[in-house]
Chain A
């Protein structure tokens, strides 16, 4: 609530890149849920998944962990509670 964290422009740019990739991946996921035999969609899904992993890694190197429970690394001290939270930007 008290989070008056300011983030640089690069935060928004990298976040948007991730959101764009994830949008395509959510769309492909729901599409594949009802079209499991579409090979082209599946190839696109796997290709974007790889791109997504790299984009998330680049973001995390600069702005800290995106996920918890062992899906992201943390520097010292524990970075998870660092602001901003998504609703603060």
Chain B
């Protein structure tokens, strides 16, 4: 089971109301390579992956939910004081029609989150390679968003998240090597 803790993994500060950047950040909320996709992808793959890497998928999947909460906090803080006109100018007019200021799991273009964003092949190497690719894509997305804002407070938390993608990718690569070594060992007999 999971137990909620009333704290963010890393402090999230924003220096101004900025619905324009909030719109881009929605990509990391409900987009294909976003944090919701990441959490659900890894936690779902756990059941059929070899025991040696279950712990890693479990823990990275759990950390992704902490990242999802950080992204939600950013979007909430960037939009909470925005006027309807500002939402409209930022390209969030349709979002406002449907959701007001509520958050919703879509990508930056408003496409709803779908399970088709993620995969579970049952083949451990194929699944881990997908996980590595997902981390690299998320890292790239964070970089593009960092480039799209001049808010240094926001950039600080985004850089933290970007670095977490780097570590997750590294650990998944190690998991691949662990499984390869195990496979070689079995061949000896």
Contacts and interface: CB of A to CB of B under 8 A. Distances in A.
B115 to A, nearest CB: 26
Contacts, number: 63
A23 B10 contact: yes
Interface of A: 1, 12, 15-16, 18-19, 22-23, 26-27, 29-31, 33-35, 65-69, 71, 85-87
Residue from B5, B11, B174, B175 having most chain A Cβ neighbours under 10 A: B5
12 contacts: A18-B7, A19-B7, A19-B8, A27-B167, A29-B59, A30-B59, A30-B60, A30-B171, A33-B55, A34-B174, A69-B3, A87-B8
A39 to B, nearest CB: 18
A67 B63 contact: no
Contacts of A18: 7
Main secondary structure of the interface of B (DSSP, over half): helix
Given A30-B56, A34-B178, A22 B9 contact: yes
B6 interface: yes
A34 B72 contact: no
Interface of B: 3-12, 53, 55-56, 59-60, 63, 69, 72-73, 76-77, 80, 167-168, 171, 174-175, 178
Contacts of A16: 11
9 nearest CB pairs, A to B: A87-B73, A33-B56, A34-B174, A86-B8, A33-B55, A66-B6, A30-B171, A67-B5, A87-B76
A68 B76 contact: no
A87 B56 CA distance: 27
A23 to B, nearest CB: 7
Given A19-B9, A35-B174, 14 more contacts: A18-B7, A19-B11, A31-B171, A33-B56, A34-B171, A67-B5, A68-B3, A71-B3, A85-B6, A86-B8, A86-B69, A86-B73, A87-B12, A87-B73
Nearest to B60: A30
